[in-house]
Every structure is written in structure tokens, then in C-alpha cells.
Amino acid sequence: MSTPVKVTADTFKSEVVEASTPVVVDFWAEWCGPCKKLGPILDDVAAELGDAVKVAKVNVDEERNLGAMFQIMSIPAVMIFKDGEKVDEFVGLRSKDDIIALVNKHL
């Protein structure tokens, strides 16, 4: 079973860019209602897909540089990285099934 990992500017390269599996990166904030609803959904995605994918969480209030680097204008914003490159993204809430289908395209 895989659990989401907190990512910072210092760990982004090792946790996301250099990851051997696709990485689902959730850009979120504590005050964001939809982010709080998406969090448990991504926990379920991580549990269901296990070691096939990594789920990473970036708190945009704590990691403003990462938010700026990826031009995060609205949250929750989710990006999927594979082999160090962004291959997909969406903004807002999605169902677990929708997210798993999106991730499966990149496995």
C-alpha cells in the first residue's frame, strides 16, 4: 500500500522528477474546502494503485515557489508526472474512478 508523501521545494526533484513510477502531485492548501475533500480521494487512489504510482502533496502556502513554478492559479490542482515530465493535469474535484482512469493512461 502506498501513502501520499509531503513534497517541498527541497524534495521535489528526488520525489517527483527522479521517481521511477508516475507521480500524482496534489497542489493544495489547508484553507481550501475542495482540497480537503480531494485529500481522502487521493489517499484512496494511493492505496488502490499501491507501488505502481506515487501520490505527492504540495502545500502551496508553505511552498510558494513550487506553486509559482507550475503557475498554480486555482486549487486543488493535480499534475501527473512521468519520467520527470508533466503528462497530465486537472483542477478541482474528481472522483476516485476518474483519477484512477487518468493515471492508468500513464502506467
Task: Write out the catalytic residue numbers.
Answer: 32, 35
**The 3-state secondary structure of 31-87, one letter per residue:** CCHHHHHHHHHHHHHHHHHHHHCEEEEEECCCCHHHHHHCCCCCCCEEEEEECCEEE
Check if the beta carbon of residue 3 is closer than 8 Å to that of residue 46.
yes
